[in-house]
Amino acid sequence: PHPPIAFIGLGNMGGPMAANLVAAGYTVHGFDLVPEALEAARAAGVEIAASGADAVRAATSGDRGLVITMLPAGKHVLGAYQGNDSSEGLLAAAAPNTLFMDCSTIAVEDARTLHEIATAAGHRTLDAPVSGGTVGAEAGTLTMMVGGAEVDFEEVRPVLDVVGRNVVHCGQPGNGLAAKVCNNLILGASMIAVSEAFVLGEKLGLSNEALYDVASSATGQCWALTTNCPVPGPVPTSPANRDYQPGFAAALMAKDLGLAKHAIETTGTLSQIGLLAEEIYAAFASGQGGTKDFSGIIEQIRERSGPS
Ligand code: NAD
């Protein structure tokens, strides 16, 4: 039998994830602050609660329910867990020993703080950030990176298999987020490198197709090149072919690299490329690039490189 689920945060990612859980036979009690998100979720079969705390009570009254949060940032998750004057906290509303799984992209240390306060309140937590974007959320093919106790991971494994395809237990609390920031450091840095290489090739008189044919089957091969190729043509499904509509928005890449930067600095890691990638995407996202796919960085590189 499927455990009932409280799903808090029914936005671009949470909405389709909750819909997939309903389609797989789960009873999902959902809540969001935005009426449009609630309406879309209701249409997908989510039972709408009057508050996050009500959703949690509805799902955990039989004391084996699961609470999933998919919120913008760490402050939202901390705020929702703890509550404030105007909204009751999720931790206080849950039946004893409830399992909380946060899928938001937040700082590693915020995930560890959530784990501590939830444990102190008599509950259990997993951090389970995702990769794969809205396309992956809709298709149920997200990569799920999970931090927390093995036994809790096993308990939610069937749920993870509904919303995701590649599910990895990464170790202790916070390690899901650790994997997420490390992966996106690779992704941001590799997209910049691929884009610089295409622009350099153009300057040298090399066609985009020729560089793609070589690098895609040689040692330059990577996801930024072969799936999300920043020039139109070689990979017809990449955002470059539709004027850099996301995809994965540069603003989200800037956010994730900001979390990576924080982790780099707090751990004292030597990560020159990571810090530079953060600087480049922060500037791009705060300018006209924020709503574009992150591969749109090539346009800025080409423009600032002057005519070929
Ligand atoms: P979103 O803004 O579309 O959705 C977040 C939702 O949370 C909103 O609908 C908002 O109203 C709701 N919300 C905020 N505070 C709330 C509260 N206290 N109670 C109830 N609802 C509340 O964002 P998203 O794109 O769905 O992203 C969610 C998380 O997933 C973020 O941390 C993001 O970084 C991460 N993520 C996003 C993508 C992507 O491609 N969109 C990919 C991977 C990871």
At residue 105, the 3 state secondary structure works out as coil
Predicted local distance difference test score (pLDDT) of residue 255: 98
Q: Tokens for 142, please give them.
A: 């997200």
Q: Ligand 1 centroid to 40 CA: how many Å?
A: 15
Verify that 225 and 113 share a domain, yes or no.
no
CATH number for position 250: 1.10.1040.10
pLDDT, tens digit (0-9, with 9 covering 90-100), for 262-296? 999 999 999 999 999 999 999 999 998 989 999 99
Predicted local distance difference test score (pLDDT) of residue 63: 62
Q: Ligand 1 centroid to 165 CA: how many Å?
A: 20
**What is the span of the domain harbouring residue 129?**
5-172
pLDDT, tens digit (0-9, with 9 covering 90-100), for 199-209? 999 999 999 99
CATH number for position 154: 3.40.50.720
Cα–Cα distances (Å) from 12 to 67, 133, 138, 262, 270, in that order, read 18, 9, 9, 25, 34
Please tell me the distance from the alpha carbon of residue 293 to that of residue 285, in angstroms, as a whole number: 10
Contact by Cβ (8 Å): 89, 83: yes
Verify that 88 and 221 share a domain, yes or no.
no
List, run by run, the mean pLDDT of 10-residue segments along the chain (308 residues). 95 97 98 98 98 98 90 98 96 97 98 98 98 94 98 98 98 98 98 98 98 98 97 97 95 97 98 98 94 97 93
Please tell me the distance from the alpha carbon of residue 145 to that of residue 285, in angstroms, as a whole number: 26
Verify that 106 and 143 share a domain, yes or no.
yes
Verify that 126 and 225 share a domain, yes or no.
no
Contact by Cβ (8 Å): 157, 164: no
Verify that 140 and 273 share a domain, yes or no.
no
Query: What percent of the chain stands above pLDDT 90?
Result: 95
Q: What is the pTM of this model?
A: 0.95
Verify that 133 and 19 share a domain, yes or no.
yes
* Domain end marker among 156, 172, 188: 172
* Domain end marker among 140, 172, 204: 172
Q: Is the Cβ atom of 130 under 6 angstroms away from ligand 1?
A: yes
Predicted local distance difference test score (pLDDT) of residue 64: 84
Q: Which atom of ligand 1 is nearest to the CA of 37?
A: 9
Verify that 89 and 186 share a domain, yes or no.
no
Verify that 139 and 186 share a domain, yes or no.
no
Predicted local distance difference test score (pLDDT) of residue 62: 82
At what angle are helices 175-203 and 297-304 packed, to 10 degrees? 40
How many domains in the chain?
2
Verify that 167 and 185 share a domain, yes or no.
no
Q: Is the Cβ atom of 52 under 6 angstroms away from ligand 1?
A: yes
Predicted local distance difference test score (pLDDT) of residue 83: 97
Q: Give residue for tokens 């899901």.
A: 176
Verify that 266 and 155 share a domain, yes or no.
no
Verify that 68 and 188 share a domain, yes or no.
no
Verify that 168 and 191 share a domain, yes or no.
no
* Domain end marker among 172, 199, 232: 172
